[in-house]
Structure formats: C-alpha cells, structure tokens
C-alpha cells in the first residue's frame, strides 16, 4: 500500500474510516484556543490522530496548580509558556504534522487573521468574553467551532456554526444570547474542578472534531451535551435557532475588530487602578491601607497577610464598615475584586483611593512560584 503509515494502522482498519478518513485528517487544519485543562487532551488526541495542521493559541504560563489536570506539562515546566511547551511535546508525539503556536491573547484585533487560516476552531477557553469573540469570528468567517466548558463536576460539549444544518446554523448566541455578569459566574480557578473532568470533556471535543472532518457518526450539531461525572448522567438537548437578535453579532470584519468583548461581558473599563503582585504586597504592608478579601468565607487558599473579609455578595450591605481612605481589594482571579472596586467608587466617589489585585490570588501565587524557582 503506497501511502501506508504504521502510525495510523488502527485507523486504516476501521470500517467506514480507513485510508480515506485518515487522509481527511491529514489535510485538515484545526485551531485550538486555550492550552489548559480542556486544551491539553484536545491537543494530545488530535495530534496523535494525525490532524495535518494544528494551531495553538495561549498566552498563559504554566503554574503548579495547573498540573492537577493539565497533563501535557510537568513540574519542570512551571514558569514556561503553555503554547511553547505544548508545541515541543506534541511535536515529539507526532513529528509528521505541522504545529503552529500563537503566544498571544486572542482579541478582536488579531482573531480574524488567526482563525481564517483554519477549517475548525476548538474553544478550550474559560471565560465568556473569549467565547463570544470566538463565536462571532466563526460566524463571520463561516467556520464551525467545537465548544467545551467545565464547572466543578459537570461538563458541556456542543458544535456550533457547522455546515450540516439545512436551515439556519446554530451558534453560541442561540444558547446564551446575553452574557452573564462577571460576578454571577465563577471559573474553575474559583470553585475548583476535579482533575479528570477536563480530560473527559476535552476528549469529547476531540471526538467531535474528528467526526466533523471525516463525516463519521452524528455530531452535536446545534445540540448541547451535558455530562455529570459523579453519576455519569448525560443528556442532550436541541438548541433552538429562534429568537436570536442578529444585531448582537458584528456585521462585518471592520465592526468585529472594534468590538470590545470585555465590555460586552460586563468587565469594567472604568479608571480603576490595577496592582501587580509586587505592588499589592507593598500596599498590604502600609498601615494606612485596608485590604479586603471579597471572596466567600470558605474559599481557598487563605490569605496569609493582614486583611479583612467582606464577600462581594455582602458588600452593598456593609459599605458603612469601611472607614479607611486607602482600600485594596482582592479575590481569586480579579473579576470580583474589580466589581467590588466599581461598587466602592460609585458609593464613595473620589473620597477614597481604591485599587485591586489584577489576576487575584492566582497571580500572587504565580509570582511566588517564579521567585522560588
């Protein structure tokens, strides 16, 4: 057999797949956005399967807390960029394919040029701003994208904007027309996640990609699969294509590139001072500064510096307790502390100097890990 490659021998043997299916994989170009908990299994299985070109978008660094679920990385990789390490290790897994890395944050300014080079996009992000951005770019560029999300012990998978619907295509905005407020939704950095869950959901995403490319089986086209790992309860629901305001999606490339998806998702653009970890620690040592933890009472890790705790959910009722002029706020990832800063600014106006820890306790831990290495 002229094109036989032992690497894919088990694919060749599969009925309804064979050489034709493998050739489709080798010709495909797939972009994976996010090389974290979901991205690691997606990348490993797509690269092993022989996707011809795999793109990786990620601007984050590997931290110790990642290793519980991000199985591409090891302890010696802490402090290195995820996309770079992933590319090196994946190329060793399959040196016969092309791997491209984009060590940048995906924004409306660069998404168009990156996504346009690929056939399918896999969303392995963990925030709503990125998901709406990816969705809108894929709708405008007519690219299918495979969605995945995790929360504690549950995960979701769906395929949006595919070419298989004979009527109107389903996109992410049909499922979530309006973004939730930042303080209403917590990610796994804040509520935790059992390490095996992103592996299970990520493999489902990889499976949907392979089915999309080869035409094998039935994909989750306009359907949302929800999986509970505690009892293996799984259900699939159809996503309605009705009642979507099409004006929510930018109409063309120019409109897309000027859309601010952080504003769309309620992330503040007010002039609130953001502190990096070093400046934050310096501020906490200032006797004239009140440091407030706006996380819920039982959240971990506990802060080991002087502070008080006023959960964001109680802040409006406890504003009268705040007497100091200098106030520094922190939470797990920086989202809730930013919202708390907005509340304080609205209440106190210019009477107090208010700032917050950008990236939250997570950023503080990363900084400590970097200093110890």
Token code pair at residue 324? 């100091």
Region of residue 306 (left: phi > 0; alpha: psi -120 to 50; beta: else): beta
169-179 burial, b at 16+ Cβ within 10 Å, e below that, comes to: bbbbbbbeeeb
Residue (of 154, 293, 169, 120) closest to 228 by Cα position: 154
Contact 158, 239 (CB under 8 A): yes
Q: Which of 40, 124, 138, 331 is catalytic?
A: 331
Task: Tell me the C-alpha distance between 139 and 123, whole Å.
Answer: 14
Tokens of 217: 């089986």
Question: Are the beta carbons of 155 and 148 closer than 8 angstroms?
Answer: yes
- Residue 138 annotated as catalytic: no
What are the DSSP calls for 70-98, one per residue?
Answer: -TT--GGGTTSBHHHHHHHHHHHH-TTSE
Residue 236's beta-bridge partner residues?
A: 225
| Size of the chain, expressed as the number of residues it contains | 373
Catalytic residue check, 265: no
Give the number of other Cβ atoms within 10 Å of residue 40's Cβ: 26
Per the residue annotation, which of 124, 138, 188, 265 is the catalytic one?
A: 188
Q: Which helix (H) or strand (E) holds 308?
A: strand 308-309
Residues forming the active site? 188, 331
């Amino acid at each position: 057999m002229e094109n036989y490659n032992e690497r894919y021998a088990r694919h060749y043997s599969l009925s309804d797949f064979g050489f034709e299916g493998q050739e489709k994989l080798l010709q495909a170009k797939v972009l994976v956005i996010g090389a974290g908990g979901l991205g690691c299994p997606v990348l490993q299985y797509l690269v092993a399967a022989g996707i011809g070109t795999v793109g990786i978008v990620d601007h984050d660094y590997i931290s110790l807390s990642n290793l519980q679920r991000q199985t591409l990385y090891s302890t010696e990789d802490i402090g290195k960029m995820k996309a770079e390490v992933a590319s090196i290790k994946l190329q060793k897994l399959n040196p016969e394919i092309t791997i491209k890395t984009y060590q940048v944050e995906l924004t409306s300014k660069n998404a168009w040029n990156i996504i346009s080079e690929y056939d399918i996009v896999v969303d392995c992000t963990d925030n709503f701003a990125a998901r709406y951005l990816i969705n809108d770019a894929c709708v405008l560029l007519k690219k299918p994208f495979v969605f995945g999300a995790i929360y504690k012990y549950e995960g979701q998978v769906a395929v949006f904007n595919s070419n298989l619907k004979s009527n109107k295509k389903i996109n992410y905005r049909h499922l979530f027309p309006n973004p939730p407020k930042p303080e209403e939704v917590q990610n796994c950095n804040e509520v935790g996640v059992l390490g095996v869950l992103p592996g299970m959901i990520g493999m489902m995403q990889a499976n949907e990609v392979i089915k999309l490319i080869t035409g094998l089986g039935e994909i989750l086209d306009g359907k949302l699969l929800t999986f509970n790992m505690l009892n293996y309860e799984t259900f699939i629901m159809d996503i309605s294509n009705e009642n979507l305001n099409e004006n929510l999606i930018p109409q063309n490339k120019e409109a897309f590139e000027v859309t601010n998806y952080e504003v769309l998702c309620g992330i503040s653009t007010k002039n609130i001072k953001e502190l990096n970890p070093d400046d934050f620690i310096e501020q906490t040592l200032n006797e004239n500064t009140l440091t407030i933890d706006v996380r819920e009472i039982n959240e971990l890790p506990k802060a080991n510096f002087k502070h008080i705790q006023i959960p964001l959910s109680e802040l409006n009722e406890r504003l009268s307790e705040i007497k100091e002029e200098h106030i520094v706020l922190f939470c797990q990832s920086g989202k809730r502390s930013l919202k708390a800063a907005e509340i304080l600014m609205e209440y106190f106006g210019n009477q107090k100097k208010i700032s917050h820890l950008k990236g939250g306790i997570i950023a503080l831990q990363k900084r400590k890990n970097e200093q110890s290495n």
